A and B are shown apart, each in its own frame.
Chain A
Amino acid sequence: MTLFLSYLISGISLGSVYAIIALGYTMVYGIAKMLNFAHGDVIMIGAYISFCVTQYLGLPAFVSVVAAMAVCTALGIVIEGLAYRPLRQAASLAVLITAIGVSYLLQNVALLIWGSNPKNFTSVFSVGAITLFGGTLTITSETILTVLANIVIMIGLTLFTGKTKVGKAMRAVSEDKGAAELMGINVNHTITITFAIGSALAAIAGVLLCSSYPTLQPTTGSMPGIKAFTAAVFGGIGSIPGAMIGGVLLGVIEILGKAYVSTELGDAFVFAVLIVVLLVKPTGLLGKQVREKV
């Protein structure tokens, strides 16, 4: 039982990281209707920045997270402005390929700066772990902080999109770009803000991910990126609570699948569950069913 609980807890922890990454995917998709494949690599950059700030500059962990967020936010804005904005009216496949190009670019820049040798990321948290059931169940500080961060981000984003003017503008743009523009909303500006928020979240996710799984190399971001994208689709792409639920469920399924079915087939198990869910509910768990009009 305690074994199951410990798997469940590490699943929730991993899932929370996926959820934070998936939020970035889902917000960008909701507003710009594009699959931002470079998102996974922004995570990797965030983790590297945090690593450098703690290792080379010797600054405290908190500062490194803020620095990573700042750099990734700037990066998100630059990527959006240079690569995606000129293609706003282009076919979605063209934007997708550009995003893949940006992903290659980020990976290779990281490869040139930091080399291909994996860096050993030291956890940014130094709080003690909690032991339960007389020492049989340990919850690490990383787990607690990851889950806490996830909950805080979730509440923050819900309040932001629901209450603030910018958040409302974001929802308006994602619903109908043309109508939003007619109402005096600056669509380009809103999309830039979305990218900035998504990239800042990616930085947090990068630090959290590497605190739990400490090998850091230029390809670190791709697989979590793909999984988080899967999580976003799983929960219904474009929906913020959907990304949260999808991410956590996916993490739990992955860890339980690896523990009880087969270690090698853990990923296959995740994707198989995704396929089954999409077959039953073709727009994901919380996705909106759009009726086709003839």
Chain B
Amino acid sequence: MKKLSKTTVRNLFTYLLVIAAFVICQSMVNAGAMSRSLRGQLVPICVYVVMAVSLNLTVGISGELSLGHAGFMSVGAFSGIVASTWLLGAFSMENEVVRLILAMVFGGVFAGIAGVIIGVPVLRLRGDYLAIVTLAFGEIIRNVLNCLYISIDAGRVYISFNSPNIPGEMLVNGPAGATGVDKIATFGMGFALILFTLVVVLNLINSRSGRAIMAVRDNRIAAESMGINVTKYRMMAFVTSAVLAGMAGALYGLNYSSVQASKFDFNTSILVLVFVVLGGIGNICGSVIAATLLTILPELLRAFSDYRMLVYAIVLILVMLATNSPVARAFFERVALKFKPSKAGKGGNAA
């Protein structure tokens, strides 16, 4: 048998991990061995895993710090909700799975359009300036969605800005957000979305385009002089990431009966960024694990009740210090040396 390459093994491990986690969770749900609050977290976990993997494409692979990823999520959520209700009304599409898939496609497409609109000006900037502009765009999207009124009347979608005077049943009601949403998101579909995201992102990374994206990240000028179209590849990573975030957003929106634009604020963007950084920048498998653990962590910390966000903050700071400070790193390397002499010096790629 041909020896598998390191990347293939790594990717296979990621897929297997996700599939195994899904099988375990699903059988636990079926056996009734999972607590109610944890069961409610299953779809959000899927959403955040997809968000983290897609943001990792921007931050880790393409090397652009984006602080507005939740903006794409909200675009996806609202367009997904509208699409789902519209499909039900106009085509009386009862099949929930097909409707959810189409809603996610709609969410992805609209978030992708937003990604193109934002990417064109943003990707001219570098470093911290790029970060602040993505933050600004995230806030603008949130503000604009707060003024948006959408209603559906006899299969027609009415959109109005800043005034609720439109015919039909209100679906999106300005600052009150979308209400009366059909909750059609399921854990199985979330799992499918994770697999889809992994296939897209992992294949993109290991393709010619992915190598071009990473070349631009490592040295823009060198890549440019090798004939790589910098703008094209930066846009490719940014828009792909936006599309995936939009699909995750649609799944998220259809998991609750009401969704407000204020849910997708700066803090949500930061939360996803925390997943990416803790999981390891550029490490897709790490993003999956970090997103899962950190979404469950506040649930597990319920025993601390009022103190749980405090504990979360302290854990976050300590983990960052432990994985990044030179003193702690030297300590871990010494420990590793003691236990596994053959693997000495290999540590430190965790973050």
0/1 string, A48-78, CB within 8 A of B gives 1 = 0000000000000000000000000000000
**Mask: chain B, 83-100; 1 = CB below 8 Å from A; 0 = not:** 000000000000000000
Q: Which residue of B lies closest to A37 (CB)?
A: B270
Indicate if the CB atoms of A278 and B317 lie closer than 8 Å: no
Contact call B221/A292, Cβ cutoff below 8 A: yes
Residues of chain A with a CB closer than 8 A to B327's CB: 86
CA–CA, A229 to B137, complex, Å? 15
> Which B residues touch A278, using CB under 8 A?
125, 129, 132-133
Query: Is A35 an interface residue when CB atoms closer than 8 A count as contact?
Result: yes
Within 8 A of B (CB), among A88-123: 89-91, 93-94, 96-98, 100-102, 104-105, 107-109, 111-112
Task: Say whether A97 contacts B274, CB under 8 Å.
Answer: yes
In the bound complex, do residue B310 and residue A262 qualify as a contact, i.e. CB atoms below 8 Å apart? no
Number of interface residues, chain B, beta carbon within 8 A: 48
- Cβ of B281 within 8 Å of any chain A Cβ, yes or no, is yes
Q: How far is the CB of B313 from chain A (nearest CB, A)?
A: 4
**Is B59 at the interface (CB under 8 A from chain A)?**
yes
Q: Which residues of A contact B59 (CB under 8 A)?
A: 93
Contact of A93 among B143, B146, B281 (CB under 8 A): B281
Within 8 Å by CB of A97, from B121, B266, B316, lies B316
Q: Min CB distance, B6 to chain A, in Å?
A: 23
Are B314 and A105 neighbours in the complex by a CB distance under 8 Å?
yes
Instruction: Provide the B290-320 mask, 1 if CB < 8 A to any CB of A, else 0.
Output: 0000000000000000110110111011001
- Interface hits, B142-173 → A, CB 8 Å: 143-144, 146-147, 162
Report B130 CB to chain A, min CB distance, Å: 9
**Shortest CB distance B133–A (Å):** 6
A294–B310 CB distance below 8 A: no
User: Within the complex, what minimum Cβ distance (angstroms) separates A29 from chain B?
Assistant: 8
Asked if A226 is an interface residue, CB under 8 A from chain B, the answer is yes
Residues of B within 8 A of A102 (CB): 313, 317
Taking a contact as CB atoms closer than 8 A, the residue among B221, B317, B326, B328 that contacts A105 in the complex is B317
Of A129-137, A197-205, A269-277, the segment with at least 4 beta carbons within 8 Å of chain B is A269-277
Q: Is A161's beta carbon under 8 Å from chain B?
A: no
What 0/1 readout, one digit per residue, does chain B (53-97) give for beta carbons within 8 Å of chain A?
000000100000100000000000000000000000000000000
Chain A at the B interface: SS class = helix
Residue of B nearest to A287 (CB): B129
Which residues from chain A contact B277 at a C-beta distance below 8 Å?
Answer: 93-94, 96-97
Contacts of B162 in A (CB 8 A): 262, 264
How many angstroms between the C-alpha atoms of A220 and B144 in the bound complex? 22
Q: How many residues of A contact B (CB 8 A)?
A: 45
With both chains docked as a complex, state the minimum distance between the C-beta of B177 and any C-beta of chain A, in angstroms.
14
Is A265 among interface residues, defined by CB-CB distance under 8 A? yes
Q: Is the CB of A282 within 8 A of B128?
A: no
Smallest CB separation, B328 vs chain A (Å): 8
Residue on A nearest B127 in the bound complex, by CB: A92
Evaluate whether A294 and B221 lie within 8 angstroms (CB atoms) in the complex, with A268-B143, A272-B140 already known: yes
In the complex, which residues of chain B have a beta carbon less than 8 angstroms from the beta carbon of A279? 121, 124-125
When A91-B324, A271-B139 are in contact, do A108 and B129 touch as well, CB less than 8 Å? no
Among B162, B274, B317, the most chain A Cβ lie within 10 Å of the Cβ of B317
A284 to B136, CA, bound (A): 14
Q: Is B135's CB within 8 Å of the partner chain A?
A: yes
* 8 Å CB contact of A265 from B128, B144, B326: B144
The residue in chain A whose Cβ has the minimal distance to the Cβ of B317 is A101
Q: Which residues of B contact A268 (CB under 8 A)?
A: 139-140, 143-144
Residues of A whose CB lies within 8 Å of any CB of B are 29, 35, 83, 86-87, 89-91, 93-94, 96-98, 100-102, 104-105, 107-109, 111-112, 222, 226, 229-230, 233, 237, 262, 264-265, 267-268, 271-272, 274-275, 278-279, 282-284, 292, 294
Q: List 28 A-B contacts (CB under 8 A).
A: A29-B128, A35-B131, A83-B321, A86-B328, A87-B324, A93-B59, A93-B277, A93-B281, A94-B277, A94-B320, A97-B278, A100-B270, A100-B316, A102-B313, A104-B313, A107-B309, A108-B313, A111-B309, A230-B135, A262-B147, A264-B147, A265-B143, A275-B133, A278-B129, A278-B132, A278-B133, A279-B121, A279-B124
- 8 new A-B contacts, CB < 8 A, other than A100-B273, A226-B266, are A35-B131, A87-B325, A91-B324, A102-B313, A230-B132, A274-B132, A278-B129, A294-B221
